[in-house]
């Protein structure tokens, strides 16, 4: 079993030393979902909320959050993020799917940046729509894939 990298031999929290690692291209994709009433989703689809275009605001919030990841997650390294892309899937009648893809060239991965982007995007959707639907649920936030670095490529296995 692999040991926790953010815990030292005494069981104390530590920042992982990446100073000797080589720079490599890194990419991570995270996903999440906000479940809601059909009426709420219809208002979002037609940009009918008084607060404005929910998806545009949520997209910008997610991008900004990804850039602030080390301020939110205590042991994350500050990264020079090359790109963050946030997409929405409105195909279902009960939810909005969120995908965040983060890219960087550096000594450590961008998984946390992608996960933070999805999380804050979902929270922004909730915030902008809560007057219509306080029963919205944020769920299914997970790392779908990552590329780069010593550990190579990871892709989440599909549930059977």
String of DSSP letters for 129-160? HTTT-TT-EEEEEEEEEEE-STT--EEPPPP-
3-state class of 1 per DSSP? coil
Q: Please identify which of the residues 87, 93, 127, 133 carries the catalytic annotation.
A: 127
93 tagged catalytic: no
Catalytic center residues: 127
């Amino acid at each position: 079993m692999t040991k926790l990298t953010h815990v030292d031999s005494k069981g104390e929290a530590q920042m992982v030393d990446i100073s000797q690692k080589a720079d490599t291209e890194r990419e991570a994709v995270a996903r999440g979902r906000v479940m809601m009433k059909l009426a709420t989703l219809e208002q979002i689809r037609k940009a009918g909320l008084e607060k404005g275009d929910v998806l545009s605001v949520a997209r910008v919030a997610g991008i900004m959050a990804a850039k602030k990841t080390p301020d939110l997650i205590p042991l994350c390294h500050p990264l020079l993020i090359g790109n963050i892309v946030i997409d929405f899937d409105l195909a279902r009648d009960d939810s909005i799917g969120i995908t965040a893809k983060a890219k960087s060239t550096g000594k450590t991965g961008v998984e946390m940046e992608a996960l933070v982007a999805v999380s804050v995007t979902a929270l922004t959707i909730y915030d902008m729509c809560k007057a219509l639907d306080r029963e919205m649920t944020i769920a299914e936030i997970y790392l779908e894939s990552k590329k780069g670095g010593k550990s190579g490529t990871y892709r989440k296995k599909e549930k059977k």
